[in-house]
Amino acid sequence: MIDQLFEFVQNHPLLVGAFLMVLTAWIAYEVRNSAASGVSSSQATQLINREDAVVVDTREANDFKAGHIAGARNIPQSRIDDRMGELEKVKDKPIIVVCKSGQASGITMAKLTKAGFTRAFKLKGGMMQWQADGLPVVKK
């Protein structure tokens, strides 16, 4: 199996080179976007306590009921476009977007930024990181 891999690499250097370039570009893009406008659990706690930040949980209702950050609003990612108006009243406050693992919240954060929410952040690591840090969750 390894011999076939080495043979493929030797026979198709341009294809392998192109693949490596695309892979490197994708990794660089993901690293850059994961750091951009993301806050850690401790930074999110400070924003909530000091600046009355609004937490928007983009998970589905069942996941939200299983455990969420106190005071969080549940607006599933699939409905964010329809329910954006609910956040107009808090446009001047920091908004922390939370998902399960921190990967999907970037999409919602980008939509909020495009809609004029200048202080939209995503929670790095999402609810998984929040719970791993031992921070409290509310269950309904």
Name the pTM for this structure.
Answer: 0.75
Q: How far apart, in whole angstroms, are the C-alpha atoms of residue 31 and residue 70?
A: 29
The pLDDT, as a whole number, for residue 107 is: 87
DSSP state of 94: -
**Residue 55: which of 116, 137, 134 has the closest Cα?**
137
Which residues does the annotation mark as catalytic? Answer: 99
Beta carbons of 122 and 97 less than 8 angstroms apart: yes
Residue-by-residue pLDDT tens, the chain, 140 positions:
899 999 999 999 999 999 999 999 998 887 776 656 689 999 999 999 999 999 999 999 999 999 999 999 999 999 999 999 899 999 889 999 999 988 888 889 889 989 999 899 999 999 999 999 999 999 87
* Unique residue bearing structure tokens 């026979």: 11
